[in-house]
Amino acid sequence: MNNRWLPWILLAPALILILALTIYPLFNTVYLSFRQYDMYSLMTGVSTWVGLSNYTETLTDPFFWTVTRNTVVFGMACVFGTMIAGLLVALLLNTKFKGSKILGIVILIPWVFPAVAGGIVWRWMFNDQYGVANYLLTQIGLTRFDGFAWFNSPWTAFTVIFFMIVWQSFPFIAVSLLAGFQTIPDTLYEAAEIDGANAWHKVTKITLPMLKPLLLILFILSTIWDFKIFDQIYVMTEGGPARGTYVLALYSWSEAFNSLNFGMASAIAMLMFVLLMFFIVIYIYFLREEKGGKRA
Amino acid sequence: MKKKAGLLTGLSLSVLMLAACADTTEDAGADEENGNDAEETADEGDADDDASDAAGSDEEAELRVWIMETGSPEEAEDYFERVTERFNEDHPNVSVDVQFIPWLSAHQTLITSIAGGSAPDISELGTTWNPEFAAMGALADMDEIVADWGMEDGWVEALEEVATYDETLYGVPWYAGVRQLVYNTEILEEAGVDVPQTYDDLWEAGEAILANTDAYPYPAVGISQHFVLPKIWHFGGELAVQEQNDDGETVWVSQVNESEAVEAVEFYTDMYKEGFVPDGALNWSVLDTRQAFAQEDLAMTIDLPPGINAMINENPDIEDKIGVAPLPGNESNASFVGGSNLALFEQSQNKELAAEYLRLLVSDEFITEWADFTGFFPGTLEGLEDPMFSEDETLSIFADGLVEGRSYPASPSWGRFEGENLFVAPIQEIMQGSKSAQEAMDDVAERMNNAFSTE
């Protein structure tokens, strides 16, 4: 009896704090999304119930779908970019060579770099007139990059932001996978070698299948992070040019704090939540299948 | 625990109220005496008799004042230390906490603080935000306060206009600024052109500068509403006008998609397409423009006196090459009069004290100095008469612009338009060629009218 409740009692303070800090805002957002809450409400606290009108207005707005498409395509690109970069770096670090320990620590630097500071640095690197990126590209003979305006079209702007996000998020993935590699017994690889497996077989037939649960967790985390990217985009383009690099998080923020439509902003946030849940449910389905497979 | 806190706040509130009541029955003569009183008690080092002191000068309180960041923080801090010192002569026990907030995030910071019930007592407001915060009910009515000061008249008109909402004053003008044409005399000479006076002149001058020099002629940049919007006036258009609707109410109606306005926007974006600025200027703001002008990569720009100072600081070589002229114009060449007002917040618990502090800031003793320091003009006519503004050749060109200048429509929605960057995306869309000027401005007009209809 005592044993059963003890963990809960010990966890209670932290749990209560977390619940208070997440559950209240969550319910408040749900509540606001059904109301017309604008700058007058801000002062008076009075808002009117408008039912689903925030949702219908959002869902019938073509711009919302543009932003959603941006979020999904860009978010998934970042997830895959981060996972692939993280995996490659982890494999590299896993081969014991001189200085791999040092390299492992150096690689963490982008990850501890504050997002805003990183955004400012990258924006400078890709400045059309004074940026180091254009300078280097023209130095190696690509003259069309002389004064190339990276942030003039959503495509090239998103490209720059993509590289920055991958650069900032791959270290975490790499370090997590590296830790995962350590858990796989060497005997498996030795056995495979006797059967004539090459390096590629070892990775695809042993390493990745063994790490499937870890990979799924990392996929879920990356998806959550990359679907709610805000600071880097805000710092680098502020959603420009011509609102071309808007993603849902930025859109929701802008509705709230620029347009002061808190109801609308909450509705967008809720739709973003639904979208994320959809992706996560898919991941979890794969994870469950894994366990079910053992039973079958 | 809770009960105690409640009791304490109740007590301190009633003390404050007593003091406040006492305050209103005071006449100015007693105030001065009190000043001496305060010094005496300070000398004796006892402050036991605070409630018995009729003027409330011994009142203990904390005032929070928000001011926009300036180019030189140390000087600004020093200035406010002196204002506070002067204020403490009459109110020794009031501490004044002056915080400097960056312009770029100020609007949002104010909104969040109002929503969270933690608004300051006094804040500087960009003039275009004044109607918005007034309509929200966030600001205190200043009519009586200003009448008490005997300062109902004598403000710079364009600023007083935007501080007035529903025929009530919700802020006082602090300083005014106006942008004029700033040019690099050397580059214009090299190109063999005169300072443009009309937009035809400007186009020709631009072509000549492109052909004969290494510089770009004109900042037709993507992110600056203050470059674009006044051109609508210059082509004979309006941004918005007040009309009677069917119910007999006066409402704002957008005019930005009328032919004159569209022509103005088309001219501006055509300059970009013609290569009057680099391609990357689609994302240039005023800051990038200043940098380009300081590096002598740009022949002309539109800027304020403090902007000119910033550019000279960046590159002292240009100091002798800078010329200033009125903006070019066809039907008019009115510049936008912006600047800052000071407002008291409705949430303030110490309105009387805050009003006293405010009064110091707009007094002759302090207002001209701040204007001079920031490179703007005082918001009071008396301050404007100071020779430092009328006798300086460059400043007098700006001062003329101030008299001829106009403000944007004093609608509560205007601040939000700026917050949303409503005038940025459409301009960029035209520059990218994804929309025609007419299409883009139709969208803007629609969004403006939607906002106006909720006022």
B6 pLDDT higher than 70: no
A128 vs B115: CB contact, 8 Å cut-off? no
Average pLDDT over residues B397-422: 86
Does A147 contact chain B (CB < 8 Å)? yes
Residue A201: what pLDDT? Answer: 85
The predicted-structure confidence for A194-218, as pLDDT tens digits, reads as follows 888 888 888 888 888 888 889 888 9
Q: What is the pLDDT of residue B375?
A: 83
Q: Which pLDDT belongs to residue B380? A: 86
3-state secondary structure at position B172:
strand
Taking one residue from A and the other from B, the number of pairs with CB-CB distance under 8 angstroms is 81
| Yes or no, beta carbons of A259 and B416 under 8 Å apart | yes
pLDDT higher than threshold 80 for residue B281:
yes
pLDDT of residue B390: 75
Q: What are phi and psi of A36, to 5 degrees?
A: -90, 100
In B, minimum Cα distance to A38 occurs at B136
Averaged pLDDT for residues A261-282: 92
Q: Tell whether pTM > 0.85.
A: no
Shortest Cα distance, chain A CAs vs residue B217, angstroms: 16
Note whether A152 contacts B432, CB cutoff 8 Å: yes
Residue in A245, A269, A240 with CA at minimum distance from that of residue A257:
A269
pLDDT classification of B53: cutoffs 50, 70, 90: very low
- The Cα-based distances of A92 to A87, B130, B133 in angstroms read 9, 59, 58
Q: Which of A173-182, B50-59, B75-84 has the lowest mean pLDDT?
A: B50-59
User: What mean pLDDT value characterizes chain B?
Assistant: 85
Is A43 in the B-facing interface, judged by CB distances under 8 Å?
A: yes
Looking at residue B57, what is its pLDDT? 61
**Which helix (H) or strand (E) is B346 found in, with range?**
none
A285 contact B CB<8A: no
Q: In chain B, what residues touch A39 (CB-CB under 8 Å)? A: 111, 132, 135-136, 416
CB contact under 8 A, A240 and B425: yes
Distance linking the first and last C-alpha atoms of chain B: 45
**Nearest chain B alpha carbon to A251:** B420
As a whole number of angstroms, the distance between CA B149 and CA B123 comes to 19
- The larger pLDDT score, comparing residue B10 to residue A271, is at A271
Chain A residues within 8 A of B138 when measuring between CB atoms: 43
Q: Please give the C-alpha separations between residue B359 and each of B109, B188, B309, B382, in angstroms, as whole numbers.
A: 24, 46, 29, 14
Answer whether A149 touches B (CB < 8 Å).
yes
Instruction: Considering only residues B247 and B235, tell me which one the structure prediction assigns the higher pLDDT.
Output: B235
pLDDT of residue A260: 82
Q: Which range (A188-192, B81-85, B331-335, B347-351) has the least confidence? A: A188-192
pLDDT at B267: 97
Mutate which of B109, B136, B434 to disrupt the A interface (most A C-beta within 10 Å)?
B136
Percent of chain B with pLDDT over 90: 58
Residue type, A12: A
pLDDT, residue A289, reads 63
Residues 6+ apart with CB under 8 A from B97: B62, B63, B64, B65
Closest Cβ opposite residue B282 in set A42, A241, A257: A241
Average pLDDT over residues B320-333: 94
Give the three-state DSSP class for B415: helix
Q: What is the pLDDT of residues B412-423, one digit of tens each?
A: 888 888 878 899
What pLDDT was estimated at residue A269? 95
The pLDDT of residue B147 is 92
Q: Name the residue with higher pLDDT: A296 or B307.
A: B307
Query: How wide is the angle at C-alpha B440 spanned by C-alphas B437 and B442, nearest 5°?
Result: 105
Res. B255 pLDDT band, cuts 50 70 90: very high
- HEC assignment per residue over chain A: CHHHHHHHHHHHHHHHHHHHHHHHHHHHHHHHCCEECCHHHHHHCCCEECCCHHHHHHHCCHHHHHHHHHHHHHHHHHHHHHHHHHHHHHHHHHCCCCCHHHHHHHCCHHHHCCHHHHHHHHHHHCCCCCCHHHHHHHHCCCHHHCCCCHHHCHHHHHHHHHHHHHHHHHHHHHHHHHHHHHCCCHHHHHHHHHCCCCHHHHHHHHHHHHCHHHHHHHHHHHHHHHHCCCHHHHHHCCCCCCCCCCCHHHHHHHHHHCCCCHHHHHHHHHHHHHHHHHHHHHHHHHHHHHHHHHHC
Domains of chain A: 34-41+52-293 (1.10.3720.10)
Strands (E), B179-239: 180-184
- List pLDDT tens digits, range B62-104: 999 999 998 788 899 999 999 999 999 999 999 999 999 998 7
DSSP state of B435: S
Q: Which of A41-55, B36-50, B325-339 has the lowest mean pLDDT?
A: B36-50
pLDDT in tens, A18-69: 888 998 889 999 999 999 988 778 777 788 899 999 999 999 999 999 999 9
pLDDT for the residue numbered A202 = 84
Look at A139 and A45; give whichever has higher pLDDT.
A139
Residue B235 has pLDDT above 90, yes or no: yes
Pairing of the two strands B250-254 and B240-244: antiparallel
pLDDT at B154: 85
- Pair B181, B302: CB distance under 8 Å: yes
| Angle, helix A2-32 to helix A262-295, in steps of 10 degrees | 140
For the residues B33-50, what does the mean pLDDT come to? 38
Mean pLDDT score, A237-253: 91
Each residue's pLDDT tens digit, A64-123? 999 999 999 999 999 999 999 999 999 888 887 788 788 888 888 888 888 899 999 999
Contact A54, A262 (CB under 8 A): no
Q: Which pLDDT value is given to residue A290?
A: 58
The highest-confidence range among A259-263, B22-26, B217-221, by mean pLDDT, is B217-221
Antiparallel, parallel or unpaired: β B322-325 and B61-68: unpaired
pLDDT tens figures, B104-132: 788 888 988 988 889 999 999 998 899 98
